[in-house]
Structures are given as C-alpha cells and as structure tokens.
Structure 1
Amino acid sequence: MSSSSRVPTYVMQQRSELMDFYIRDKKGRRAETSPHRHEYFQIQINIGGDTVQHIGNVERPFARNTLAFILPHRVHVIPHPPESNFMVINFSQTFLLPHLQCDPMDLEEVSILLAPELSPFRFQEHLDFVLGDEDFASVCALIEQMRVLDENRQFGTREMLKGLLLQLVGKVCALYAEPLKRLAEENAAEVSRRDALSRMSEYLRKNIADPDLNLIKVAAATYLSPTYLTHWLRKEIGKTFTELVLERRMHAARNFLLNGTRPVGEVARLCGFADEAYFSRRFRQIHGQPPGQFRRQQLNPDTPQSPSNT
C-alpha cells in the first residue's frame, strides 16, 4: 500500500467523541474505506467477518478473533465486509503513556524495555495477533467493561479505563511474548540508524520555534546527509521535510492552544511562524478553523461558535 502524502491524517476530535479515549462498535461511526493515518493510537477487534488489513506496505489477514494494533501516523486501512462485526478503540498517547516524552512520529524508535506496551503496535506489520476462543472471550469482557464505563464517565473513570486498556495490551504481549522479543532483538542492527533519526527528532523538537528551520540545517545538526534524510522521510513516512516540519508545528500549535492561554501571535512565534496572519491561514487550511476559534470550540464544545478570523 502506497504511503502517498495525499493520504489523510485524522486528529482525535475528527474520529472520536472525546480527546483521550473512545470506544465504539461498527454502528458508532462510518468506517474509513481508504488508506489513512491518524495522530492517535487505535486497536481494532474483529468479532466476526474475515477480511484483511493493509498496514504500511504489507497486507495481513484479519480474521475473526484477531486484534490490530495501529501506531499513530501509520498508513492503514481495514476493509470490513458488510456482515462484519468489530470494535474500535481510539486513545491518545498521553492517555496510554503519560510518562513518555516522545513525538508521536518517533514511537517506533522507543525501546520495548522502556515502554513494553508499545510492542504489539511496533510489530503489527510482522505478526497476526489471533487469539484462541478462551483468550478472546476474556478480551471481549474487558472491552464490554470499557464500553460501559465510557458511556458513563465520572470521577475515576479515566483511570479505570486505562487499567482495562493496559490489561488488554498486556494480555496480548504475554500471549505473543516470544515473537515480540525476537523481533525487538532483530531490530538491534538498526540502532545506529535509529540514533541518527532520534537526533533529528530531538533537534526538531528543540528548534521548532526557529522560522529558518530547513533541511540543510537539520541534516548538518544530526550528522545525516540531506539526500539520505530526504530519502528516508519519503520512504518511511511518505512526507517531504517541509511537510514534516509543518505537521510538527501544527501539532505544537494545538498543544499550546489547548493547554494554555497564550495569545495566538505568541503561539505562532513559538511554532516557528514569524507572520501571525500566515500561521492563521495555514492552521485554518489544515483544521478548518482559525486558531482562536479552534481553541474556544475544543475547550467549550457546547458553546455556539461565531465566525472568526483569529
């Protein structure tokens, strides 16, 4: 499956009712039928109706009793037949891994010793997580508990949901411990490449406010050639350097807007935009709303929004 830059990337609020955790069955929302990415984690559970999943550049079977673990920014699609039955769980990185200070696009570089709960997500392209009937029944029981809790949110519900989610991921990790550990060990040969790419990500994170951030500067700072960096970005994530920087700047902008009261002009500057008007135009092109309106609607979703250009 091609990782074209035209493949859409969804943010949590576009495909979920809440920004931290959301669970639904096939009737909850129309399933995507074409390749796409999203900024959040996703688990799909096939309760009935054999099909396949396209993930990255591979196709794997997705039969009944199978779970799919999808990392943020991974191109994928599961074409569910009309008679199928499935569940979808969406959740943010901060919900699953609040301790992990890592850009969502760098999760594949995180050691499973540091975050073992990432294991099935990291190696989904290499394994089919098919469960026996007894194990699958226990997973379905966890899912039902999540569904009931998510429909009746109150104080403490978030922690209970996270506990159930970790039980689900932990059960699959235990059932597939040997192949997961083997895949992690085989990955050791790529340590030097990962280190170089980690340097690039760290440099971007620290210098995202630099309006003059460019390919030559980043390649030099991370000891990579511009040619190699360009090739790797296109091959692995289907983006140009410019697209990657814009995506990270928009990610940072959303965080600033939703987690503080900084004026839009200051948010623009912190995200590397010297021109506030240009920042607002790019933000609106991507999110369908100018930054000020985006902040108001996300923080007060029940408040009617009037048109705004800020």
Structure 2
Amino acid sequence: MRALAEPDLPVLTARHTGTGPAGVRVLPFDASHDRVLLGPHRHGNLELMFYAEGSGVDRLGDSAFAVEAGDVLLVTPGVVHDASGIAGARGWAIEFDAAALITVDSAAAGRAGTTGRLWWSNPLLTPFVLAGRGPRYAHLVVPVDRRDEWVARMREMEREHTERVDGWEEVLAALLHVTLIDLARFAAPYAAGLRHQGETLLAQVFELIDERYPEPLSTSDVAEAVSLTPTYLTTLVRQRTGRTVLDWITERRMAAARELLLTTDLSVEAVAGRVGFGDPTYFSRRFRALHGLSPGRWRTAAGV
C-alpha cells in the first residue's frame, strides 16, 4: 500500500450540479468500487461513509477503524482516506460541499456573510467539526433500531442522484439535511464538551474570523478583539477544537478559495488576494499542502 504521506495523492471533489445542492454525490460502494480500489486519496469536500453490512477496515490519516454494519465514518477535506481494506463491507458514501447547506433567498442575500458562513458554524456539521479534533470523533454508530431507516434513505438518495427526475436536487438537499440532523444527534454526547462556558467565546472568535479573513489577520488581532491574551486564546481554542486560531483562519480562507475556484474564472493570484493571502506563491504552497494539488490543478480536477 502506498504511504499515506505521499504528496501527490488523487484529490476527489464533488462537482456542482448547477441549480440544486452544490456538489452532492451519492455512491454505493463495496470492495470492487473504483473509489475503494483507488487506495489512499484525499477529498476536497466533506464525506460520510455509511456501512450497511459486512465488516472491514477503513483508514483515515494514520488511524485504522474496524467498521461493521451501522458504522459511519466522517471524512473532512484534505484528510488521507484509504478504504481498500473494507473487504466484504458494503454501504453508501455521500460526498458534498458545505455550500449544499446554504439556502439564499432574496431577504437573506442582503445580509452580510449569508453565503460565507464558516462551515463549522452550522450545527448540522458539528460531527465533522469534531472529526477534525481526532479519531475519537470520526467514527459514529447508527442505533440498531434506526438502521433500516438509514438504508432506505440511502437507497432513495441513490435513486434520486441516478435518475435525476425533475426536483431531484431539492429532494437530495432535504434528505441530506435529515441525515446530518441524525448525525448531529448521534454526536451529541461528544459535542457536549463544547457546550459550556467557552462556547460563547468560541462563537465570537469564529464570527470575527468569518468577518475579517480577507484582511491581514493574526492570533494577536483576534485575541485583542475578544479581550484575551494571545497565549490564553491559543490554549483555549486548541483545547476546545484541537486546532489553533491560525489553523481556523487558514481553513476559512481555504474554504473561500475553494468556492471562488469552483464558481468563478478568477486567476489563482486574484483568488489569493480575495481570501487574504498577499503572496500568491505562499497561498499556492499552503493550498497544495492542505489539498494535495495546486489551486489550478484542483480547479481542473473539480471540472471547472
């Protein structure tokens, strides 16, 4: 098996469909599926893997998970994923862009930040935020009495995605929302640790990053805005989220960069400037480090 640290691993990205949920793909999988046979790869989007039957081993980063019926693995952008060891397991993979959860109407469109919210600020994505903190949160289990319901929903999503009858995109969006609500509820015991005295402060930090990521922004700037020392803020954010303030600033900028690369024909240099990188070369280097491809190659791989 290829080393998981290999820099030029394939990067898989769900394509925008144009009018409905942005970049939602529903793929049934087993050991013979192309994605499984591909071996180690990265994703440019969020992905959940639902195992309906059988058992095997799935790998995220350096961690191996023994999976069986009812298990759900959550994959965040840039994480190395290798499902080649799933053996006799079967199920469905749902890959989607966080923009699939954004609904913009005439009233909402006028509010600053409506379409640019941090993806981790959406409560439906809490399990994916937790997945970024470590292997403990990457693995959830659908209760036994809900598994038939999940299998039926996955089959319906697969059918809508395959047949594409009028209204299929709206149906997919609705079923995706229901699925993510379930996941958020399954993850509630793990998420409880975030819901105490520090949550309001974290919300302020994320709100500030959301508003100011296109500008020069440092940990000290964020700390000053929330009346804390940089050292204390760094410690708090790392303890609560597993990442640093600078990690979150970079993640927000990269989320905005991916959206611009997918939805505009702006040059890479222009995209870098729009998302807060004064040096396009540094932007490209950071993008490649996180996504495994340069911005230009990532855009081409996404089919734009």
TM-score bucket (shorter structure): 0.5 to 0.7
Match of 1:129 in 2: 142
Corresponding residue number in structure 1 for 2:15: 18
Q: Partner residue of 2:219?
A: 215
Q: Distance in 2 between matches of 1:194 and 1:82?
A: 41
CA 1:290–1:155 in 2, change beyond 3 Å: closer, same or farther? farther
Question: Which residue is 1:147 aligned to?
Answer: 158
1:227 match: 231
How has the CA–CA distance of structure 1 residues 149 and 291 changed in structure 2, closer, same or farther, with 3 Å as cutoff? same
Of structures 1 and 2, the one with the larger relative CO (CA 8 A, separation 6+) is 2
Structure 2 CA distance for aligned equivalents of residues 226 and 160 of structure 1 = 45
Please state how far the C-alpha of 1:37 moved relative to its aligned partner.
Answer: 8.3
After superposition, where does 1:139-178 map in structure 2 within 5 Å?
A: 139-153=150-164, 155-168=166-179, 172=182
Paired residue for 1:247? 251
| Counterparts of residues 100-119 of structure 1 (less than 5 Å) | 102-107=117-122, 110=123, 117=124
Match of 1:256 in 2: 260
Does the C-alpha gap of structure 1 residues 62 and 122 become closer, same or farther in structure 2, counting only changes over 3 Å? farther
Aligned to 1:197: 202
Q: Percent identity among equivalent residues?
A: 25
Q: CA deviation at 1:222?
A: 2.0
The alpha-carbon distance between structure 1 residues 37 and 271, as it changes in their structure 2 partners (threshold 3 A), is: same
- The 1-side partners of 2:301 and 2:77 are apart by 25
Letter in 2 for 1:193: G
> Do the aligned partners of 1:52 and 1:62 also contact (CA within 8 Å) in 2?
yes
Describe the shift of the 1:295–1:70 C-alpha distance in structure 2 as closer, same or farther (beyond 3 A).
closer
- Please list the CA deviations of residues 223-274 of structure 1 after superposition, one character each: whole Å capped at 9, or x if unmatched: 3332233234444555444444333322222222333344544432222222
Equivalenced residues, count? 272
Counterpart of 1:306 in structure 2 is none
TM-score by length of structure 2 reads 0.66
- How well do the aligned residues superpose, as a CA RMSD in angstroms? 4.5
Q: 1:39 to 1:200 in 2, by over 3 A?
A: farther
Q: Which moved more, 1:148-157 or 1:197-206?
A: 148-157
Pair 16,155 (structure 1): closer, same or farther in 2 beyond 3 Å:
farther
Please state whether the residue corresponding to 1:30 is helix, strand or coil.
Answer: helix
Task: Give the whole-Å Cα distance in 2 for the aligned partners of 1:140 and 1:16.
Answer: 24
> Helix, strand or coil: the match of 1:273?
coil
Over residues 81-139 of structure 1, what are the superposed CA-to-partner deviations in whole Å (9 max), with x where a residue is unaligned?
412222211222222343676312344xx4xxxxxx5577678949632223xx43343
Question: Structure 1 residues 288, 76: closer, same or farther in 2, change over 3 A?
Answer: closer
Larger Rg: 1
How far does residue 193 in structure 1 lie from its aligned partner after superposition?
A: 0.9
2:13–2:45 Cα contact (<8 Å) kept: no
AA aligned opposite 2:207: E
Match of 2:111 in 1: none
Residue pair 2:57, 2:86 contacting (<8 A) in 1 also: no
Q: Alignment partner of 1:18: what SS?
A: coil
SS class of match (1:192): coil
Give the distance between the partners of 1:75 and 1:295, measured in 2 at CA: 18
Partner of 1:84: 89
Alpha-carbon distance change, 236 to 72 in structure 1, aligned in 2, over 3 angstroms: farther
CA shift, 1:153, in A, is 3.6
